[in-house]
Amino acid sequence: MRKIEIILLLVILVCGLALVLISLPVGEDMTDLPFTLDDGTQGKLKITTPRYLRLGDKAYLQLEVAFIPAGVTASGESVKTKSSLQSSTLEMDPSTAVTAVIPAEGMGRFLWEIIGRTSEVQRATLWCFRQGAAGPELILARDISFEVKTILGMRYRFFQWVLAAIILLCILLIGVIIYRGRGKVLVN
């Protein structure tokens, strides 16, 4: 009986360790891009993307736009900015373009919730425009690709449930073995 209990305890330990490892958050990559527009307006873009996507799990892509105060205008007016993330295969929220008015000395943040629905490389294009009286002026057009990962062809969340079920089953088996062992001791 002792060998079975030790094996079940080892299975619980291995499954618990695997559960902790696959539950760790995905790392992020940050890219800083300076820009200068035709009228001399300068600023900085910061793009934060996940290193990869987990099939069916939510991840976030963030774009921060900051204009350099001396380059905006002499009077320090706000700048109207429009950003969108476009992809035919990636599920996104919001799925349409987002507009923000950024103060001369402030920063605008655009955040998209993205979900990879197929286990292929997902591609998207990130667009950012300045909306002015002359029409939209392109600040950024960047292609981004995400590798969508699975575990043994399963979604991470489903695999986490499988590991949790194995742990519970092993705990129940250990409880039954201990209960039956005590019953034999009491009878003898």
**Exposure on the CB side of residue 62, measured as CA atoms within 13 A:** 13
pLDDT value of residue 98: 87
Q: How many domains does the chain have?
A: 1
Q: Rounded to whole angstroms, what are the CA distances from 6 to 30, 45, 125, 162, 170? A: 45, 55, 53, 21, 11
Residue 42 lies in a domain: yes
- Euclidean distance between CA atoms 97 and 83, whole angstroms: 6
Q: 3-state SS string over 22-54?
A: HHCCCCEEEEEEEEECCCCCEEEEEEEEECCEE
Higher pLDDT, 182 or 113: 113
Higher pLDDT, 30 or 74: 30
Q: What is the pTM of this model?
A: 0.78
- Predicted confidence (pLDDT) per residue in 39-78, tens digit: 777 889 999 999 999 988 899 999 999 888 664 454 567 8
pLDDT value of residue 172: 93
Percentage of the chain lying above the pLDDT 90 cut: 40
- Euclidean distance between CA atoms 53 and 121, whole angstroms: 9
In the numeric block, which tokens belong to residue 81? 């900015």
pLDDT value of residue 72: 47
Q: Rounded to whole angstroms, what are the CA distances from 19 to 28, 158, 165, 174? A: 21, 11, 11, 20
- Predicted confidence (pLDDT) per residue in 131-177, tens digit: 877 788 888 899 999 999 988 888 889 999 999 999 999 999 988 88
H or E element: which one contains 93?
Answer: strand 91-93
Share the mean pLDDT of the chain. 86
- Euclidean distance between CA atoms 42 and 35, whole angstroms: 6
Residue 17 lies in a domain: no
Residue 53 lies in a domain: yes
Nearest CA-CA partner of 129 in 80, 61, 72: 80
Burial class (CB in 10 A: 0-12, 13-18, 19+), 46: middle
Give the residue numbers spanning the domain of 134. 27-155
Residue 13 lies in a domain: no
Nearest CA-CA partner of 43 in 127, 106, 94, 111: 106
pLDDT value of residue 28: 93
Residue 170 lies in a domain: no
Q: What is the CATH number of the domain that holds 127?
A: 2.60.40.10
Residue 182 lies in a domain: no
Across 123-137, b (16+ Cβ under 10 Å) vs e yields ebebbbbbeeeeeee
Residue 34 lies in a domain: yes
Residue 41 lies in a domain: yes
pLDDT value of residue 167: 94
